[in-house]
Structure 1
Amino acid sequence: MDAATARMRLESMLAELDRSINVLRGDPAAGRDRSLPDAGADLTDADRTRAMLDAASRQRTAVLAALRRLDDGGYGRCVDCGTLVPEGRLEARPEAARCVGCQSRTERRR
């Protein structure tokens, strides 16, 4: 993927993530009068919202790092081993920082 296309896709992803994060940070229950039995549902909703907010924040961090790699000239190279990240991987995940092998090793360590 060429640098201009990568930048456009990453900036679009960043804008969408920022919109999602702003929505998730809002208070969807504001102004609603919930009964005591609904308190459990509110807690479950809050947990789900927190998980989605955490995932969006992690992805936002990855997108910002990819934009920095674009600026530094390292985009498309694995941050661990330095080999080229396959084009198909970058098409599917423009924010990908690692080749498939290094990403697999990183995930197994978690």
Structure 2
Amino acid sequence: MDVTTARERLQDMLAELDRSIRVLRGDPVGVRERSAADAGADLTDNDRAQAMLTAATAQRRAVVEAMRRLEDGVYGRCVDCAQPVPEGRLEARPEAARCVQCQGKRERRR
């Protein structure tokens, strides 16, 4: 993926993640009288929103790091082994920091 395309895709992803994070941080529950069942449903909704916020924040961090690698001239190189990250992987996940092999090793360690 060329640098211009990568930059555009990463900027688009960052803008979309920022919008999602703003929505998830908002108060989706209006001011109204609530029953015990409503309170339980709100907890579930809040837990789900918190999980989505955590995932969006982590992805945002990965996108910002990818943009930094782009500016540093090392975008598209694995941060662990410095080998090229396959083009298809970057097409699917422009924020990818590792080649498939190193990413697999990282996930197996978790």
| Same structural fold, with TM-score higher than 0.5 when normalized by the shorter chain | yes
Tell me the number of residue pairs that the alignment of Structure 1 and Structure 2 aligns: 110
Partner of 2:49: 49
The match for 1:6 is: 6
Unaligned runs of 5+ in 2: none
The whole-number CA distance in structure 2 between the counterparts of 1:99 and 1:28 is: 39
What one-letter code is carried by the residue in structure 1 that aligns with 2:13? Answer: M
| Runs (5+) with no aligned partner, structure 1 | none
Residue type of the partner of 1:4?
A: T
Matched, 1:103 2:90: no
Q: Deviation per CA, 1:16-56: give whole Å up to 9, x if none.
A: 00000000000000223221221111111110000000000
Letter paired with 2:36: L
Q: Structure 1 length as normaliser, TM-score?
A: 0.98
Match of 2:88 in 1: 88
Q: Which digits, 9 at most, give the CA deviation of each residue in 1:39-93, with x for residues without a partner?
A: 1111111100000000000000000000000000010000000000000000000
Matched, 1:79 2:79: yes
Match of 2:28 in 1: 28
Q: TM-score, normalised by structure 2?
A: 0.98
